[in-house]
Amino acid sequence: MEFEITYSKKQEKFRTEVQAWLESNVPEGIEHPADSSDLTEEQYLKRRELGRKLGSKGWLWPSAPEKYGGGGLGVEHAIVLEEEMDKIGLSLPPYYDSGGRLGGNSILVWGTEEQKQYFLPQIFQGNVRTWQLLSEPEAGSDLANVKTTAVKDGDDYIINGQKVYVGSAFGAEYMWTITCTDPKGERHKNLGWFMIPGNSEGITINPMDLLSSAGESGAGSGIKNIVFFDNVRVPAKNLIGEENNGWQVATTHLELEHGTGGRIARNWIVDKIFEYCKTTDFNGSSISSDQFAKDKLLDIYIDAEVGRLFQLRNYWMRHTGASFSYEGPQASYFRKTSGLRIATNILEILGPSALTSDEKLSVESGHIEAHQRAAIIALHPGGTTDIQKVIMSRRIGIGRENKEKAGALK
């Protein structure tokens, strides 16, 4: 077994190239704010600009196929890019975009050649950013119960309905969504998956007032919206994976969102809290010397390490093409539940200073306060903790002989 990435000379050479490029291309003033809803439009536009530059080098979605505008790079180069972006406090892509990792993968698996040629280069080059539109007021955990309709009308579909907890601030060029294409059809066989241009007539976007908008994406989404479709006309060629086959298309991005992709990044909030407790004075010695705080910090550490190892395992499995069973939802379940435990332990150690973003009294410039809220919100996107357990049970085959298979990936 080898848990560490060993970097070849080729990779180190690539790292030097990446560092130099980032040094001269990353603009000033686009740092991640403590609360992602504080990201300004100016900062966002600068990040998009950076995304396009990265995209033109094949570095925005480095592992995506070159044929469709991705980098076509192996995992060894993708890792270097992710690490170097992480070092300067940015993620890849440097803004909220669920297209490259999730929606794009569904198009890769289920789209026609023509659709792949049309949509994927736009995504992988950073010319468009896309949002996922899945949940509805009546379709949360029961996603297959979506009521948004798509009715065929000549060469188009007419879409009506509403989607909730959508996207981020500042709009998107495409919205990918799952709709009902046959209201009388059998469950799971009555859905259609669409790529909808964000500027289509009849789309209304209203921001939601939420405790926190931080979600699955490392970039932080800033804000979540309700999106209304009012007789929105979409060309039939934007239907991916045939009419009534939308659930299959969705299983691909749901699988990835359920944690199957894995991650190799460190948990920076844990690094921050350790550093803070070691260096901050409390009754004449460091916070971390207090036995109670020490115990809580150890709980945090163990949770973070186990979570890191689950993500690392999945990352390795994904990049070696191993077949998944329950590992995706397990990593997701653990990340969500341990995330909340970590936040609660931090609250116990720090007391009310963990709860304020006040300039004078907050810890780590408000990052800790934002994390307190985000840890609660993070329990639910991409499937609640209970849904993750349901999926795990089916995959393991608890109480059943036939084990459910993981969604198709590319």
Q: C-beta of 309: minimal distance to another protein in Å? A: 4
Closer CB to another protein, residue 36 or residue 314?
Answer: 314
Helix (H) or strand (E) holding 225, with range, is strand 225-235
Interface with another protein (CB under 8 A), residue from 16, 295, 358, 361: 295
Closer CB to another protein, residue 31 or residue 386?
Answer: 386
Closer CB to another protein, residue 150 or residue 391?
Answer: 391
- Report d(CA 286, CA 211) in Å as an integer: 32
- Measured CA distances, 264 to 5, 159, 330 (Å): 10, 39, 16
Q: Which residues sit opposite 151 in a β-bridge?
A: 158
- Measured CA distances, 62 to 21, 358, 410 (Å): 15, 39, 14
Is residue 294 near another protein by the rule CB under 8 A?
A: yes
Is residue 284 near another protein by the rule CB under 8 A?
A: no
Is residue 309 near another protein by the rule CB under 8 A?
A: yes
The CA dihedral of 303, 143, 200, 100, to the nearest 10 degrees, is 40
Residues that contact another protein, how many (by CB under 8 A): 40
Interface with another protein (CB under 8 A), residue from 17, 42, 66, 305: 305
Interface with another protein (CB under 8 A), residue from 108, 219, 297, 363: 297
Interface with another protein (CB under 8 A), residue from 212, 245, 330, 357: 330
For residue 267, give the nearest of 319, 331, 335, 193 by alpha carbon.
335
Stretch near another protein under the rule CB under 8 A, chosen from 82-90, 189-197, 243-251, 308-316: 308-316
- Report d(CA 279, CA 206) in Å as an integer: 44
Stretch near another protein under the rule CB under 8 A, chosen from 87-95, 147-155, 303-311, 347-355: 303-311
Is residue 80 near another protein by the rule CB under 8 A?
A: no
Interface with another protein (CB under 8 A), residue from 20, 88, 361, 398: 398
Is residue 401 near another protein by the rule CB under 8 A?
A: yes
CA 66 to chain centre: 22
Stretch near another protein under the rule CB under 8 A, chosen from 37-45, 88-96, 161-169, 398-406: 398-406
Structure tokens that stand for 317 in this block: 């499995």
Closer CB to another protein, residue 2 or residue 28?
Answer: 2
Closer CB to another protein, residue 361 or residue 398?
Answer: 398
The CA dihedral of 187, 189, 190, 194, to the nearest 10 degrees, is 130
Interface with another protein (CB under 8 A), residue from 334, 339, 369, 406: 334
Q: C-beta of 332: minimal distance to another protein in Å? A: 12
Stretch near another protein under the rule CB under 8 A, chosen from 42-50, 237-245, 349-357, 392-400: 392-400
Is residue 393 near another protein by the rule CB under 8 A?
A: yes
CB 130 within 8 A of CB 253: no
Q: Which residues sit opposite 206 in a β-bridge?
A: 226
Per DSSP bridges, beta strands 149-153 and 156-166 are antiparallel
Place of tokens 């539940």: 337
Contacts of 198 (CB under 8 A, 6+ apart): 131, 171, 172, 173, 174, 175
Is residue 10 near another protein by the rule CB under 8 A?
A: no
Phi, psi of 229 (to 5 degrees): -110, 120
Rounded to 5°, angle at Cα 366 from 347 and 261 = 80
Q: Which residues bind another protein (CB under 8 A)?
A: 1-6, 274, 277-278, 286, 288-289, 294-295, 297-298, 301-302, 305-306, 309-310, 312-313, 316, 320, 326, 330, 333-334, 389-390, 392-393, 396-401
